Amino acid sequence: MKIAVTSVSGQLGMSIAKHLIKEIGKENVIGIARTPEKAAHLDIEIRKGDYNNRNHFDAALQGVTTLLLVSGMDEPQKRIEQHKNVIEAAKANGVKKIVYTSIVGDAEKNAFSPIVQSNRQTELDVQNAGLDWVIGRNGIYIEPDLEYIDTYVKEGEIRNCAGNGKCTYTSRGELGYAYTKMLLESKHNGQIYNLVGTPITQTQLADYINQVYGTKLIYNGVSVEEYATERKKELGDFLGTVIAGIYEGIRNGANNIPSDFEKATGRPHKAPLEIIEAIKSK
């Protein structure tokens, strides 16, 4: 069996590939990347694959049995077509199974919803491809908050519009483990899993970070409108709107959902404090 992982130079794709290598050996894992040299350190076969180029994937998927499709990062309508390029190439080149990394979230009620909608469309495209399939809906990664600690410390706070909403944070390490199980075990075929952890508030997140990093952060909740204005000023209209929409979704309960992680993996999702401790110790 040859398993290919797209976007393998990215942090999620890399995590999945590393978990796969441990399970089935590097000779059975193929990485696909838009810029192959960025993934050379993985010491596996790396093939070129730009989601915008169907021909890349006709070549990259030769001899591949199972494909892990990491969701793209472009604007919603563009990513639907990009994903279709990969799915159509998989169908045409003998791939038997596709596992897709989707996302949790509300498809209608906030500024992040268009991205959720685009992922739901790709979910349908995967399901209708005539191949075996599994879909994971990823929770929000906890790593960006930890990577942002210096800024949080400088400002003395975690500031966003999530309010008292709860978020089922996960990590790329936990997701890498889950997707490896979903790729290798046929019992998951035809399933959609919410790959999320324990729901916590932003105040709890600040408390956990304080425990592990010795910081003294507080959580400062602001309105959706105020936060969107701040994010767009710093990050530009598109990304700022997306980030504000994520926290608006948390505020409204879109990320406080039941977890299927144990169904996908056979073990409970690690607790937030345990994940934060593990990331700090790396």
In a domain? residue 213:
no
Please check the confidence at residue 34 and state whether its pLDDT lies above 90.
yes
Do 20 and 31 touch, CB atoms closer than 8 A? no
Mean pLDDT confidence for 145-158: 96
Q: What pLDDT does 51 receive?
A: 97
In a domain? residue 12:
yes
Distance CA(8)–CA(31), nearest Å, equals: 5
What is the pTM for the complete model shown? Answer: 0.96
Backbone angles phi, psi at 189, to 5 degrees: -55, 135
> Residues 38-83: pLDDT tens digits?
999 999 999 999 999 999 999 999 999 999 999 999 999 999 999 9
In a domain? residue 147:
no
In a domain? residue 247:
no
CB atoms within 10 A of CB 191: 14
In a domain? residue 222:
no
> Residues 114-137: pLDDT tens digits?
999 999 999 999 999 999 999 999
In a domain? residue 278:
no
In a domain? residue 149:
no
Please check the confidence at residue 109 and state whether its pLDDT lies above 90.
no
Q: What pLDDT does 33 receive?
A: 98
Q: What pLDDT does 111 receive?
A: 87
Q: In 3-state terms, what secondary structure has residue 221? A: strand
> Residues 159-189: pLDDT tens digits?
999 999 999 999 999 999 999 999 999 999 9
Strand partners, 10: none
Q: What pLDDT does 134 receive?
A: 98
CB atoms within 10 A of CB 34: 19
In a domain? residue 232:
no
- Parent domain of 107: 3-138+170-194+257-269
Do 205 and 170 touch, CB atoms closer than 8 A? no
> What's the CATH code of the domain at 95?
3.40.50.720
Count of domains for the chain: 1
Please check the confidence at residue 1 and state whether its pLDDT lies above 90.
no
